[in-house]
Amino acid sequence: MRTKLRPRRARGAVMAELAISLPPLLATFFGLAQVTKLETTKLLVMHAAVCGARTAAVTSNVHGNNPGTPTGENDLPRRAVREAILPFIEAGALSEPEVSVDDASSAADPSGPVRVTVTTKVRCSVPMMGRVVCKGPEKVLRAVAELPHQGATYADE
């Protein structure tokens, strides 16, 4: 029994259909992969900002309203932010973060807000669509977290 072979033109048509449909499908897939990477990184940077704000809320003593803690600037919020995203920095996915700590508490209001701002750059390295989604090789991400300062007022004894 003999099998029927397709005519040569039919095989060429299948190849042409594949060549026409494959690039848009790949572009869609890679575009979704890059958007997913960006959104995941946004969550990560927000988490780092919250870690920094939690640390600053407890350890900040810029205004001398946190008894038992040395007065002045401390590096603990910056270290907390860096530790939260350290694996991604070491992998080269993120740049070193810029951390800004704004302590609005005072001796009169020890529960004033402490705001931590984290700014970093993420590499857009997904093939085909990384530069399209990010509009360049890197995208700047910024996250802000604010918590009440955990200072206290004590009556002089």
> Can you give the pLDDT at residue 144?
97
Residues 57-96 have pLDDT tens digits of 888 877 677 767 777 667 889 999 999 999 999 998 899 9
Strand partners, 149: none
CB atoms within 10 A of CB 34: 22
Average of per-residue pLDDT across 45-52: 96
**What are the residues whose beta carbons fall under 8 Å from the beta carbon of 58, sequence distance 6 or more?**
150
Determine the Cα–Cα distance for residues 109 and 111; give it in Å rounded to an integer. Answer: 5
Rounded Cα distance between 27 and 115, Å, is 40
For β-strands 113-123 and 98-103, DSSP reports them as antiparallel
The string of DSSP codes covering the chain is -PPPPPPHHHHHHHHHHHHHHHHHHHHHHHHHHHHHHHHHHHHHHHHHHHHHHHHHHHH-BTTS-STTS-SB--SHHHHHHHHHHHHHHHTTSBPPPEEEEEE---SS-TT-EEEEEEEEEEE---TTTHHHHHTSSEEEEEEEEEEE---------
Per-residue confidence (pLDDT) for residue 83, from 0 to 100? 95
Q: 90-143 pLDDT, tens per residue?
A: 998 899 999 999 988 877 777 888 999 999 999 998 888 888 888 889 999 999
d(CA 57, CA 62): 11
- The Cβ of residue 6 has, within 10 Å, a number of other Cβ atoms equal to 10
Q: What distance in Å separates the CA atoms of residue 154 and residue 38, rounded to the nearest whole number?
A: 46
